[in-house]
Amino acid sequence: MELDAKSNLKTKLNRLELNTPIIAASGTFGYANEFDDFINIKNTGAIVTKAITLQPRRGNIGKRIMETTSGMINSIGLENMGIQEFLSKIVPILHNEKINFIVNIAGSTTEEYLQLAQICEENNIPAIELNLSCPNVKTGCIEFGTKKSSLYELVRETRKIFSGVLITKLTPNVTSIGEIAQAAQNAGADIISAINTVRAMGIKLNFSEGKFNFTKINGGLSGKAIKPIALKAISQIKEVTEIPIIGMGGISNFNDFIEFIAIGADAVQIGTANFTIPTICEDIADELSKFIKTNGFKSFEELKAKIREDFNNG
């Protein structure tokens, strides 16, 4: 369905302008137009690319995905084509098809992050999401996201280099996500996105011929199982920050979306649900548009204010 321009789903998060508040999360939507067979990508607010590193990465070896009762554990290890191939092969597609996009960048060192930010600046990338929260690599990412001082320094130095929209993606694997969020805001982030996956282990066993055989994976848990953790994290971030928040973690339907808006998210990212419901970003945007019209609201912003008023007074 083509979203009616009069549905007023447009959302502005500081300098980031979105057609809808529904964004496809990094690592679940490919690089650009891989979901063309399922949805009209222009009906999403934006897509966040797979994490991009300075050099190509093959990712982790061995078992990298395990389904759980209410989600999945992944240990992909940031497999990607690297920034130069991304710029030459993918960015032209994004521009030609007029897809609103955010580039997720990840590094092993401060220097790598800053080099990536500089390359994005030189190539007029409109928005980047600093991946400071992936738990599936040996160095970088979560190492910065769990230490307030390290995160502050990295975001501050990136802000000096990159003039576009700067989003900081936070991990739930910390004692106080509020303190980490404050550090990101104070260092110059335009937007906070949270949460990334939760550290987890998956084990599957088989007993045959008198022997137990185990399959094990260490990685990040995502999907419906982490929604309560994500909601609590967003509420804590909202209490101590003033910049916009993009919430994520287990969102799989319209009611989930409303819950995240109620506790402080200004937009959301859909992740794991893309694998099982590839139309979900468009579906929720469509349902939101219809809800606004049917219930007499003029815009998403008006609806958001009403949701929070009723939630806080409930």
Q: Which residues carry out catalysis?
A: 134
Helix (H) or strand (E) holding 178: helix 177-187
Residue from 304, 187, 196, 314 nearest 247 by CA: 196
Strands 71-74, 65-68: pairing is: antiparallel
Residue from 131, 39, 25 nearest 78 by CA: 131
Contact status, residue 267 vs residue 246, Cβ threshold 8 Å: yes
Give the number of C-alpha atoms closer than 13 A to the C-alpha of residue 30, restricted to the C-beta side: 13
Query: What residues contact 253, with CB distance under 8 A and at least 6 apart?
Result: 284
Strands 198-208, 245-247: pairing is: unpaired
What is the distance between the alpha carbons of residues 65 and 241, in angstroms, rounded to a whole number? Answer: 34
Q: What string of DSSP letters covers 43-90?
A: GSSEEEPSPB-SS-B----S--EEEETTEEEE-----B--HHHIIIII
What is the distance between the alpha carbons of residues 174 and 153, in angstroms, rounded to a whole number? Answer: 18
Q: Strands (DSSP E) along 69-197, which ranges?
A: 71-74, 101-105, 127-131, 165-169, 191-194
Residue with tokens 């130095």: 157
Residue from 128, 256, 109, 231 nearest 188 by CA: 128
CA 259 from centroid of its chain's CA atoms: 17
